Amino acid sequence: MLLIHCPYCEETLPEAEFTYAGQAHVIRPEDPSGQSDDQWQEFLFIRANPKGPHYERWRHFHGCGRFFNAVRDTVSDKFLTTYKAGAPRPDLSSLTEGLK
């Protein structure tokens, strides 16, 4: 079972307290009705499926209830970092450096 650090509670807790919430940094457009069919399709359905670091959302469902972002390596299943919703996407090279 994974251990996940909640950036709001500032505690590292068992995976069972959390729920997965899909890819991170998929921003809902300001004016959805102004979007073309292709753009809207991209927003709704197209997701990354990387082998390696993946930006994704989790929710501390059985804790504070907050959604937050994480970078998890899909090969090792290790969390490289977690950060608050709305915070900028962390630089991958600084995160993976520690793994080498």
Partner 1 sequence: MSQFRVAGKGRVDTGRPVTFTFDGTSYKGAQGDTVASALLANGVHLMGRSFKYHRPRGAVAAGSEEPNALIGTRRGKGRFEPNTRATVQEIWQGLETTSQNKYPSLKWDIGAVNDAAYMLFSAGFYYKTFMWPKNFWHKVYEPFIRAAAGLGVSPTEEDPDHYASRYLHCDVLIVGAGPSGLAAARAAAVDGLKVVLVDENPEAGGTLLSEPQTQIDGKPAWDWLATEIEALKGLGVRVMTRTTAIGYYHQNMIGMVEKLTDHLPDLPADTPRERMWRVRAGQVVLAQGALEKPLVFHGNDRPGVMLAGSAQTYLNRYGVLVGKKPVVLTAHDSAWYAAFDLADAGARVQAIVDTRDTVRDDLLAAAQERGIKVKLGHTATGTTGRLRVNSLRVNPVKGDAVGAAYTIACDAVLMSGGWTPSLHLFSHTKGSLTWDDDLTTFLPKDTPEDCVIAGASRGLWGIEAALNDGAEKGREVAAALGKAPAELAYAVEADRPGTGTTHKELPTDRSPGKAKAFVDYQNDVTAKDLRLAVREGMRSIEHVKRYTTNGMATDQGKMSNINGLNIAADALGKKQPQVGLTTFRPPYTPTSFGAFAGYHRGEHFEVTRKTQIDGWAEENGAVFEPVGQWRRAWYFPKTGEDMETAVRRECVATRASLGVFDASTLGKIEVKGPDAVEFMNRMYTNPWTKLAPGRCRYGLLCGDDGFIRDDGVIGRLSEDCFHVTTTTGGAARVLNMMEDYLQTEWPELNVWLTSTTEQWSTVALNGPNAAKLLGSLVAGVDLTDEAFPHMSCVECTVAGMPARLFRISFTGEIGFEVNVPAPMGRKLWETLWEAGQQYDICAYGTETMHVLRAEKGYIIVGQDTDGTVTPYDAGMGWAVGKKKPDFVGMRGLARPDLVAPGRKQLVGLLSEDQSKLEEGAQIVFDPNQPLPMTMVGHVTSSYHSDAAGRPIALALVEGGHDKMGETVHIPMPDRTIAAKITSTIFVDPENARLKI
Q: Is residue 16 a contact point for partner 1 (CB under 8 A)?
A: no
Phi, psi angle pair for 94, to nearest 5°? -70, -25
- Segment interacting with partner 1 (CB under 8 A) among 47-55, 77-85, 88-96: 77-85
Helix, strand or coil, per DSSP, at residue 10: coil
| Neighbour-count burial for 48-67, b at 16+ CB within 10 Å, e otherwise | eeeeebbbbbbbbeeeeeeb
Instruction: Name the minimum Å distance from CB 91 to partner 1.
Output: 21
State the residues that interact with partner 1 by CB under 8 A. 1-3, 15, 19, 21, 28, 31-33, 35, 37, 40-41, 43-44, 57, 59, 61, 65-67, 76-78, 85-86
